[in-house]
Amino acid sequence: MRVFKFGGASIKDADSIRNVVAVLKHTGHANTLLVISAMGKTTNAMEAIVDAYFKDKSALVSEIAEMVDYHTIILNELFPNSQHKVYKDIKVLIDEVNGFLAWNKSPNYNFVYDQVVGYGELIATTIISAYFEEIGLKNNWLDIRNYIKTDANYRDTTVNWEKTQEHISTIDKSILNITQGFLGSDDNNFTTTLGREGSDYSAAILAYCLNADSVTIWKDVPGVLNADPRHFKETQLLNNISYREAIELAFYGASVIHPKTLQPLQKKEIPLHVKSFVNPKDKGTTVGKGVGIEPKVPCFIVKKNQVLMKLSSLDFSFIVEDSISELFKLFHEHKMKVDLIQNSAISFSVCVDNKFGGLEALLNRLKSTFKIVHHENVSLYTIRHFNTKALTSLQNGHEILLEQRGKETVQLVVK
């Protein structure tokens, strides 16, 4: 069987959903499991709802209405008959969002986030499953929360592989199944999420547990490129990438493949294809067993909105193992993802991702022990397989705050 993942860009409107049908007609749809993300920018809209709930309840009604209106436009175009059952199904889901926000007593932002934001995927799959049935494409809608089981570390959960395998193994592989990416549930059946852009990981989990033949991620790009075309002018398609190289690229922040996606696939040598939903006949990129990348060219990765901190001991004492251990404990407590470190005898520099907003609290904890100089909104550039030309192209016109080189990789923090 195969696992296909369709992201938000591939289902952003009614025409895009019709295009998914065209892709399935080209590839065939027997023995296939579709993993579907929220439509378009719905996850951003759901995040705005959560923010309004905590920060500005007067905006809550309008934020929910905007999200509902977006989906209603798609519904109206796909289902001209307003009495179609799907309208009631979507209303039930919207009522669940409103109901949760009305009765919730938890002040835990991450918990509330997971209970609300995941409805983007539930709404999207409900609409798509119903549309497929409407055009005669029989399918089975699955609630992924009944299959992927996790701990209760909301917004960044860890999969319980034993329970997940037990549940997923009950899925009928002989039919077309449709389910949600990004979501799971904890032991109390509260919704959990696998991290932003976690639908790729969902596809890999399902493929691993079902012993799938392959995973295909359908994107709005021709495959994995050596740089993000949104940030770099000249890009090249990478035809083949080894698991090891893809894991390296994902670790450094390549946006096409989610960092956690590759590990379960590598364990069972399940090939990963990254293909264009615009041109499904094109080969795209294959990630599998092998060495390096083809063609072997410099690969550029940029992570925006990072924070660079330089910590120095107040008494000029050495920063040694116990100090570094304490620092990483604090990074973990404040949910700061460390992307680069560099240290000397009395200083420690670190570039972190403040995606959970823990910077201010962390700085307050550190001030009692360290002298701190920090720069916000910096960019971290990584070049895999760098050469002089590639390095020069980044150094020119940028203020370099920190540089770190290895044999194959160079990283630059720039302002």
Mean pLDDT across 97-115: 97
pLDDT tier for residue 233 given thresholds of 50, 70 and 90 = confident
| Boundary of a domain, candidates 179, 199, 219 | 219
Q: Quote the percentage of the chain above a pLDDT of 70.
A: 99
The residue ranking higher by pLDDT, 333 or 141, is 141
DSSP 277: S
pLDDT value at 318 more than 80: no
| DSSP sequence for 159-207 | B-HHHHHHHHTTS-TTS-EEEESSEEE-TT--EEE--TTTHHHHHHHHH
| Boundary of a domain, candidates 185, 200, 219 | 219
272 forms beta bridges with 215, 287
pLDDT value at 151 more than 90: yes
Q: What local confidence, expressed as pLDDT, does residue 195 receive?
A: 85
pLDDT value at 259 more than 80: no
Q: Which domain holds residue 49?
A: 2-219
Model confidence over 56-77: pLDDT tens digits? Answer: 999 999 999 999 999 999 999 9
Please report, in angstroms and rounded to a whole number, the separation of the first and last CA atoms in the chain.
47
| Boundary of a domain, candidates 184, 219, 254 | 219
The residue ranking higher by pLDDT, 255 or 380, is 380
pLDDT value at 130 more than 80: yes
The residue ranking higher by pLDDT, 197 or 349, is 349
pLDDT value at 345 more than 80: no
pTM for this prediction = 0.85
pLDDT value at 228 more than 90: no
| Domain assignment present for 267 | no
Angle between helices 119-134 and 109-117 (to 10 degrees): 10
The answer to whether 385 and 298 have CB atoms below 8 angstroms apart is yes
Going from the C-alpha of 96 to that of each of 100, 119, 209, 359, the distances in angstroms are: 6, 9, 30, 33
Average pLDDT, the chain: 93
Q: How many domains does the chain have?
A: 2
Same domain for 51 and 187, yes or no, is yes
Structure tokens at 207: 């493929």
94 contact partners, CB below 8 Å, separation of at least 6? 64, 68, 119, 123
Structure tokens at 137: 């494409």
Same domain for 187 and 329, yes or no, is no
* CATH number of residue 394's parent domain: 3.30.2130.10
Number of neighbouring beta carbons within 10 Å of residue 344: 10
Same domain for 326 and 190, yes or no, is no
Site of tokens 């490129």: 225
Q: How far apart are CA 236 and CA 297, in angstroms?
A: 8
Q: How far apart are CA 398 and CA 37, in angstroms?
A: 36
Q: What local confidence, expressed as pLDDT, does residue 89 receive?
A: 98
pLDDT value at 348 more than 90: no
pLDDT value at 291 more than 80: no
pLDDT tier for residue 229 given thresholds of 50, 70 and 90 = confident
Going from the C-alpha of 162 to that of each of 110, 145, 150, 194, the distances in angstroms are: 25, 15, 10, 17
| Domain assignment present for 115 | yes
| Domain assignment present for 391 | yes
DSSP 159: B
Q: Which of 59-68, 139-148, 400-409 has the lowest mean pLDDT?
A: 400-409
The residue ranking higher by pLDDT, 139 or 365, is 139
Q: What local confidence, expressed as pLDDT, does residue 303 receive?
A: 92
Structure tokens at 379: 């960019």
C-alpha triplet 124, 139, 198: angle, nearest 5°: 40
pLDDT tier for residue 150 given thresholds of 50, 70 and 90 = very high
Q: What local confidence, expressed as pLDDT, does residue 401 receive?
A: 93
Q: How many CA atoms lie within 13 A of 398 on its CB side?
A: 18
pLDDT value at 256 more than 90: no
